[in-house]
């Protein structure tokens, strides 16, 4: 019997929401925009997209979503954070605003805008550090991207910046996070990886 397709929520408060929807649709994953707490019901996974991390933090508060999203993640719902989404997941954030909140569930330290301002955005490659991604580098678009300064023992590095060696893709149990924007390229390996993490048959603690 064929497994039902996963339904993945995309936090739609700010950022490149449509691009994530298109990317996941190409690998057969249904998406739903998450704008209020009720939108989390019945999801198999959640994407925290890129955008501006301080703005996302404030919008999560004002929309009443911060605590419900935190509860879902802590309860085991698979989550995929990209760029600003990684900052929201990180246990430790450097150069953040004093009032900026993160969920603190990923054992790593990140530096906001670690590569510099918008004009230093660039296209690079992520070199796989695990057989799960194969051997070919993953195309990676870095837009005001954070830098992973340190990865603690609770998390594993899945890919590093090609030629630099710094971590750009990390995983900790049901949490996947990238410093770049995988939805802006034609490579769908990370969407497929997250789709496997968000299989409806999995227990997400709900």
In a domain, 203, yes or no: no
Say how many C-beta atoms besides its own lie within 10 A of residue 191's C-beta. Answer: 22
Residue 2: the pLDDT is 56
In a domain, 141, yes or no: yes
Q: What is the CATH number of the domain that holds 119?
A: 3.40.50.880
Residue 111 is predicted with a pLDDT of: 92
Residues serving a catalytic function are: 83, 181, 183
SS3 content of the chain, % helix, strand, coil (to 5): 25, 30, 45
Chain position carrying tokens 């799960």:
132
Q: Is residue 205 part of a domain?
A: no
The answer to which of 78-92, 119-133, 166-180, 190-204 has the lowest mean pLDDT is 190-204
Whether pLDDT at 157 is above 60: yes
pLDDT at 191: 97
Question: 27 or 113, which is more confident?
Answer: 27
Q: Which of 22-31, 45-54, 97-106 has the highest mean pLDDT?
A: 22-31
**Rounded distance between C-alpha atoms, residue 127 and residue 190, angstroms:** 13
Q: Which domain holds residue 58?
A: 7-197
- pLDDT in the model for residue 15: 87
């Amino acid at each position: 019997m064929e497994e039902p397709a996963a339904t993945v929520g995309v936090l739609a408060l700010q950022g490149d929401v449509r691009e994530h929807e298109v990317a996941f649709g190409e690998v057969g994953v249904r998406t739903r925009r998450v704008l209020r707490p009720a939108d989390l019901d019945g999801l198999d996974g959640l994407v925290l997209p890129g955008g501006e991390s301080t703005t996302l933090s404030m919008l999560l508060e004002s929309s009443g979503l911060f605590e419900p999203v935190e509860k879902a993640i802590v309860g085991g719902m698979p989550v995929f954070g990209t760029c600003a989404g990684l900052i929201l997941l990180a246990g430790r954030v450097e150069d953040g605003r004093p009032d900026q909140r993160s969920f603190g569930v990923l054992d790593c330290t990140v530096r906001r805008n670690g590569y510099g301002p918008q004009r230093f955005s660039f296209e690079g490659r992520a070199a796989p550090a695990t057989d799960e991604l194969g051997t070919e580098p993953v195309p990676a678009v870095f837009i005001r991207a954070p830098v992973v300064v340190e990865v603690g023992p609770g998390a594993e590095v899945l890919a590093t910046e090609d030629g630099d060696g710094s971590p750009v893709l990390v995983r900790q149990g049901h949490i996947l996070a990238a410093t770049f924007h995988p939805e802006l390229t034609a490579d769908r390996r990370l969407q497929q990886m997250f789709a496997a993490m968000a299989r409806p048959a999995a227990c997400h603690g709900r």
